[in-house]
Amino acid sequence: MQKIDYLDKKQHGSAEFPVEYYYVNSTHPRYRMAFHWHNEWELLRVMEGELSLTLDEEQHLIKKGDIVLIPGETLHGGEPMDCVYECLVFDLYGLFGKTEAAKTHLRPFFCMDFVPTRFFTEEDKAPADVLDIFSNASGSPCLSLETLSAIANLFSWLIKEGRYQKASDESRWSSRIKPVLEYIEAHYNEELSLDILAGVIGMNARYFCKIFYSLTHTTPMNYVNSYRIEQATFLLEFTDLSITQIATDCGFWESGYFTKVFKKYKGTTPQRHRLALRAERLKSKER
């Protein structure tokens, strides 16, 4: 088991078994779910607290016990509130694309022609196999067999129960701002402004700000700062770089301002957060 690192282009699992389990709590350096997408599908379950989850243009409050099925290429991000959540990321085509009998039924999902039911509450659960996926992910000796069976049963249930709809032909603005998110990921340690970000997709800055907010429920520059702080949190835990160096590496040209922004997002100073993260990691190793 490993914790999620949200590197969208990383391989989840192996080529032979493209499935990966992730566990995220408040001590994780990427606790805030920055907006991202990947080709793989994702099952997410909230174990404690609540998660304000945005999928494409829509925002949802996900509570303890709720499960979300996120199709591949879906722009998504989340704001946890005293939340612990777990994810299973899997390549649907990689698992079943070479099995003709399964491919016949799953092709509309491979091609994104069908959009499945995305939300399952405790009152409206998919088959018990969904919960089995998460429980088995933590170390079953037959993990690959049981996971394959559970995912197959889930999609079989979706099809038999008609828990899907045809995808809309309407273009989504989310696809328009993906290049901006990629640009921020590549240049977060450089000077960024609203005009620069709007220029990535050739849009008027004012209109871009409006579109960005409608999709992510935050402003472009607030998103930039949030992304920078998540990168800084990772460096605080896993490197011995000084606070000043981390501030510079993450696009903050003045360490005092970095500390101010960090405290806004994390509720504590960078140094205290570093000590707390390392203490938690030490406890985990001792367990």
Per-residue pLDDT, 5? 39
Higher per-residue confidence, 194 vs 38? 194
Per-residue pLDDT, 264? 92
Q: Is a pLDDT exceeding 50 seen at residue 268? A: yes
Per-residue pLDDT, 9? 47
Per-residue pLDDT, 199? 94
Q: Is a pLDDT exceeding 60 seen at residue 8? A: no
Using DSSP, state whether 69 is helix, strand or coil: strand
Q: Is a pLDDT exceeding 90 seen at residue 170? A: no
State pLDDT tens for residues 148-157: 888 888 899 8
Architecture of the structural domain at 174-286: Orthogonal Bundle (1.10)
Q: Where in the chain is the domain with CATH 1.10.10.60?
A: 174-286
Return the CATH number of 19-166, one of 3.40.50.11540, 3.90.1860.10, 2.30.42.10, 2.60.120.280: 2.60.120.280
Among 89-93, 127-131, 186-190, the minimum mean pLDDT is found in 127-131
Contacts of 94 (CB under 8 A, 6+ apart): 15, 18
State pLDDT tens for residues 201-260: 999 999 999 989 888 888 999 999 999 998 999 899 889 999 999 999 999 989 999 999
pLDDT > 90 fraction of the chain, expressed in percent and rounded = 39
Burial of 241 (0-12, 13-18, 19+ CB in 10 A): middle
According to DSSP, residue 168 is labeled P
